[in-house]
Structure 1
Amino acid sequence: MRWRRAIGGLAAAIVAISLLVYGVGWNEVVANVRAAHPAALAAAVVAGLGMLALRAALVRRLLEPVAGGARGTAFVTAYLSGYFARSALPWGRSTGTPVMAYLLASGSDSDFEDNLAVVAAGEGFNVLGSLVVAGLGVAGFVVAGGSLDAVSAAVAVVGGGGLVAAGVLVVANRGLARRISLEFATRCETVVRKVPYSRLSRQRGFLIDRIDGFFRTLEAIQASRRTLAVAFGIAVVSWVFNALPLYFALLALGVDAPLALVLICAPLALVLICAPLASFGGVVPLPGGSGGIEVVLASLLVATAGVSAGVATAAAILYRLTTYWTHLAIGGCVAVAVSALGTRRFRR
């Protein structure tokens, strides 16, 4: 684990959040946070832990077809360590998938490419689940008499995200991605074999075998309709649990917001900021979308719930404290233990 980079990234995240609070009004935001009801915050933490457990259950379910995959303590420690790396390291949103796959492979007898396929599939299910939950929130908010103008952006994001997800599924099912990847790997190996004294030049088919294994694992996951249905269900429920801490954070501040509203705001705040960060991770190296998520979430709450900027910012900060920062602390403790004792100690 690159601890210096993680500490530097977290320090930058704290600075970004501090600037947000300062811009809104330090005294107002701090006063709202201090006045928050402890019982509601405790409920937010419990709901957040439920989300973390469901996300792990999703990956564990998708690991079923992988021979020698991490199980038991090995899986839990590898997943939490990977979650910490994904959340703490700068550019973690773009590099978190291979890091978690590497840790899952290190704690088991399975190959890296198999775990990479599983984690990538899990990320896909999480994105799809966020769109479904946000769509349900939009429908519930409108049925309850909410303003269409307030959720117009949400409708656009859900619709656009649904079209993108459908396009990805079509491409994957037709095998186009596999053909392109294998053709690219073949060309790369042809070039590498011409390099003198290269270790890879003596390993014919190394890259092709890895990519082929990646797609074979994806095909094994797709072949089981039960696995797909269960994984989709877990992803959707996990996003409901992801939204509940925001609901409890608002209750802690004395705001009785509709549940449908938080089902819109929580997923969209993460999708709106995390997707761009994954694409432009080299430009914005803030871990876990810190700073950006708080700004987007507070803006959505002001637009939809009609609360003041101070209350919205306080709710966004409490939401992140009971989810992101709590999970970061748990994953960090596990990562420290794994770094100190080694992955072999936790193998089944």
Structure 2
Amino acid sequence: MFGLDLRKGIIAFLIIIGVYGILFSFAGVDQLSAAIKSADLTLLCSVIGAIFGWLIACSMALRTILNALDVDISRMRGFFVLVGAIFFNNITPFGQAGGEPVTARLISQSTDSEYETGLAAITSFDTLNFIPSTFFAVSGVGYLFLTSTIHGILRIAAIAVVILAVAVPSFLFVGWQRRDRFTQIIVYRLTPVLKIASRKLPWVSPISESGMKGRIERFVKSIERVATDRYSLGLSLSYSTLGWLLLILGLWITFRAIGHAIPISVVLFAVPIASIAGVTPLPGGAGAIEGVLIALLTVLLPTLGVQLITTAVIIFRGLSYWIPVLLGGAVTSLYLR
């Protein structure tokens, strides 16, 4: 499956099921069942609608980037590629770091483009997608500073958000300014490793230093094309921002569906921060994202109680995790056939 071992995929799903089993027992199966049965069906359908809206907005952001790279892709195919990308991210460790190399291959094969173009597209998409999440998280931190006293886990989360908001753009800027130097380092360090791997692993193809340098340069040139296309950058960023708003709205509606209205500022702060936990070794950040969400919301909404918050998070993450996984898995299977 695009370089993924079926056995590893099965293990990943078993881990995810185990994680959700722990969350179910923590929330209480009876309370979870009662909350779902008594939930407002219209609002639950609205949550599903918000999740599909998030997926569509993100697919349009990715499609815009691909168009900037002269890769012609329809809206429907762009949606399929996006849910395929989320599928791979959700079944591989370390979030995007684990899934994006496979996603790049999916893009290249489904659009008849070079692998480096697909990798540049999905890398650019991830970078742009980080901007609105940081903006929303920083906005939530500012609101909390103005309206309440921040201490304990909230102080740690707030400091982490501020550090990320400064460190990540700075790192990207420095890396971009020194991209030629980094290209030389990667070629010098990685080529010998691939040569050794090609002798021991049949699926790794040997590559020369000139070949490696050429592929990296094609990747960098594709990134440069996206970075200099201001219209595509602005449009893709707008779609990404809309996607984040819809995802945040999904959690807010989830609480209303089970009979509890919470401030929108709380989820505006919690959802982007929890998404950072997707970089953990667990497949798709399963368990880590839920844990961070539950911890933050429990501190921010102490009157609701941890069991009710856990119930809401299970419902929200159950939908936002499994809808793209099931769609992406089906799309990937059909495409392989």
TM-score category (smaller protein): 0.7 to 0.9
Deviation at 1:39, TM superposition (A): 1.4
RMSD: 2.8
- Specify whether residues 112 and 258 from structure 1 end up closer, same or farther in structure 2 by C-alpha distance, changes over 3 A only: same
- Specify whether residues 315 and 206 from structure 1 end up closer, same or farther in structure 2 by C-alpha distance, changes over 3 A only: same
Query: After alignment, is 14-23 or 116-125 more displaced?
Result: 14-23
Q: Does 1:27 align with 2:30?
A: yes
Deviation at 1:72, TM superposition (A): 4.8
Look up the equivalent residue of 2:18 and give its one-letter code: V
Corresponding residue number in structure 2 for 1:16:
19
Look up the equivalent residue of 1:323 and give its one-letter code: S
Query: After alignment, is 129-138 or 76-85 more displaced?
Result: 76-85
Out of 238, 241, 247, the position equivalent to 2:246 is 241
Corresponding residue number in structure 2 for 1:308:
305
Q: How many residues align?
A: 328
Corresponding residue number in structure 1 for 2:278:
274
Corresponding residue number in structure 1 for 2:104:
101
Q: Does 1:223 align with 2:232?
A: no
CA contact 1:222–1:228 (8 Å) conserved in 2: yes
Q: How many angstroms apart in 2 are the aligned matches of 1:325 and 1:195?
A: 35
Corresponding residue number in structure 1 for 2:51:
48
Q: How many angstroms apart in 1 are the aligned matches of 2:12 and 2:198?
A: 39
- Specify whether residues 33 and 204 from structure 1 end up closer, same or farther in structure 2 by C-alpha distance, changes over 3 A only: same
CA contact 2:298–2:306 (8 Å) conserved in 1: yes
Deviation at 1:46, TM superposition (A): 0.5
Q: Percent identity?
A: 23
Look up the equivalent residue of 1:50 and give its one-letter code: G
Look up the equivalent residue of 2:291 and give its one-letter code: V
Q: Does 1:83 align with 2:79?
A: no
Look up the equivalent residue of 1:6 and give its one-letter code: G
Q: Does 1:299 align with 2:303?
A: no
CA contact 1:138–1:261 (8 Å) conserved in 2: no
Q: How many angstroms apart in 1 are the aligned matches of 2:51 and 2:61?
A: 15
Corresponding residue number in structure 2 for 1:148:
150
Matches within 5 A, 1:312-327: 312-327=309-324
Deviation at 1:269, TM superposition (A): 1.1
Structure 2: tracts of 5 or more residues without a match = none
Instruction: Report the secondary structure of 2:111's partner residue.
Output: coil
Look up the equivalent residue of 2:43 and give its one-letter code: A
- Specify whether residues 192 and 334 from structure 1 end up closer, same or farther in structure 2 by C-alpha distance, changes over 3 A only: closer
Q: How many angstroms apart in 2 are the aligned matches of 1:264 and 1:300?
A: 9
Deviation at 1:250, TM superposition (A): 0.6
Q: How many angstroms apart in 1 are the aligned matches of 2:205 and 2:328?
A: 36
Deviation at 1:288, TM superposition (A): 1.5
TM-score when normalising by structure 1: 0.85
Out of 315, 334, 337, the position equivalent to 1:337 is 334
- Specify whether residues 76 and 192 from structure 1 end up closer, same or farther in structure 2 by C-alpha distance, changes over 3 A only: closer
Structure 1: tracts of 5 or more residues without a match = 341-348
Look up the equivalent residue of 2:134 and give its one-letter code: L
TM-score when normalising by structure 2: 0.87
